[in-house]
Structure 1
């Protein structure tokens, strides 16, 4: 199984999004998540901020 982020909550959210036709692409330093409508979001691989999951999920809400 692929690991998308070291943060378990971000990893689980990405797994759910991939099941809903989102595309994940591994880049050099960070991953890239593309929505079915074409928007892209940078995925934090090893977030150090305690609010990283909240900020990431808000970014997804804005693009979805």
Structure 2
């Protein structure tokens, strides 16, 4: 396991996904604090964006 992949960063990423799913507008206001966890959180952020885009498009209709 990469030294940058700490459990707290994983948890932060998962919580971000949960909040983003529950609050569609969250992503527009929320600074991605998980980026400070390092490279792994960039993967989370990419997942976060790609997963949320279809939902925000649907909900915006």
TM-score, normalising length: structure 2: 0.33
Q: With CA pairs under 8 Å and 6+ residues apart, which has the higher RCO, 1 or 2?
A: 2
Which structure carries more strand by proportion?
1
- Rg larger in 1 or in 2? 2
Which structure carries more helix by proportion?
2
TM-score, normalising length: structure 1: 0.32
